Amino acid sequence: AAIVCTFQEYAGRCGDKHKLCQAELKELLQRELPTWTPMEFREGDYNKFLSVLDSDKDGEVDFV
Ligand SMILES: [Ca+2]
């Protein structure tokens, strides 16, 4: 439940409230999973990360 709540908190910030756009994904990773996001992580790395998770290629990631 905590994971769903955290996802929704970030997903609701812009655009589709049930999906994470790249900016929301970046913020979630940086704030909630700092050990996953080394300081040298660049915008292009978030872009790659998003595209791996974005199975339907709509530019956003849903919880599933
Ligand atoms: Ca969103």
pLDDT the model gives residue 37: 78
**What spacing in Å lies between the alpha carbon of 20 and ligand 1's midpoint?**
4
Q: What is the CA radius of gyration of the chain?
A: 11
**What spacing in Å lies between the alpha carbon of 40 and ligand 1's midpoint?**
25
**What spacing in Å lies between the alpha carbon of 39 and ligand 1's midpoint?**
24
**What spacing in Å lies between the alpha carbon of 10 and ligand 1's midpoint?**
7
pLDDT the model gives residue 35: 87
- 19 and 60 in contact (C-beta within 8 Å)? yes
> Which homologous superfamily is 2-62 in?
EF-hand (1.10.238.10)
List, run by run, the mean pLDDT of 10-residue segments along the chain (64 residues): 96 95 94 84 90 94 93
Is beta strand 19-20 parallel, antiparallel or unpaired with respect to 61-62?
antiparallel
Domain boundaries, the chain: 2-62
